Amino acid sequence: MLSQESTSNRITRSRYDYHLSEVIRQRAWVEIDLGALTHNIKQIKGLLSPKTGLMAVVKADAYGHGAIKVAQTALKAGASWLAIATLGEGIELREAGITAPILILGAINTPQEIEAIVHWQLQPTLCNPQQALIFSETLSELGENLSVHLKLDTGMSRLGTPWEQATEFVKLVQQLPHLNIASIYSHFATADDPDPTIMRLQHQRFETAIANLKTQGIQPPYLHLANSAATLTDPSLHYDLVRVGLAIYGLYPSPHLRSEVSLKSVLQVKTKITQIKTIPPGTGVSYGHKFISDNLMKIAVVGIGYADGVPRNLSNRMEVLIRGQRVRQIGAITMDQLMLDVTNIRHLQVGEVVTIIGKDGTEEITADDWANNLGTISWEILCGFKHRLPRVSVHSFKPNYNSSHLDPILTIDN
The answer to whether residue 59 is catalytic is yes
158 is in an annotated binding site: yes
Our answer to whether residue 290 is catalytic in this structure is no
Q: How far apart are the C-alpha atoms of 394 and 402, rounded to whole Å?
A: 13
Options 45, 59, 69, 272, the catalytic residue = 59
pLDDT tens for residues 186-197? 999 999 999 999
> CATH topology for 51-250?
TIM Barrel (3.20.20)
Entry pTM? 0.89
pLDDT score for 17: 45
Average the pLDDT over each of 244-258, 352-366, 394-408 and give the range with the smallest value.
394-408
Report pLDDT digits (tens) over 358-394: 999 999 999 999 999 999 999 999 999 999 999 999 8
Residue 413: what pLDDT? 66
Between 3 and 124, name the one with better pLDDT: 124
Average pLDDT over residues 313-330: 98
Catalytic residue among 287, 290, 386, 398: 287
Same fold for the pair 51-250 and 267-412? no
Under the banding of pLDDT at 50, 70 and 90, the label for residue 26 is: confident
pLDDT mean over 27-50: 96
Choice between 73 and 401, residue whose per-residue pLDDT is larger:
73
Question: What span, in angstroms and rounded, lies between the C-alpha atoms of 394 and 411?
Answer: 7
What was the pLDDT predicted at 408? 35
Does position 404 have pLDDT exceeding 60, yes or no? no
Predicted local confidence at residue 336, as pLDDT: 97
Q: What is the band of 290 on the pLDDT scale with cuts at 50, 70, 90?
A: very high
Which residue ranges make up each domain of the chain?
51-250, 267-412
Assign 402 a pLDDT band (cuts: 50, 70, 90).
very low
Which tens digit of pLDDT belongs to each residue from 139-183?
A: 999 999 999 999 999 999 999 999 999 999 999 999 999 999 999
CATH fold label, 267-412: Lyase, Ornithine Decarboxylase; Chain A, domain 1 (2.40.37)
∠ CA 140-110-63 to the nearest 5 degrees? 120
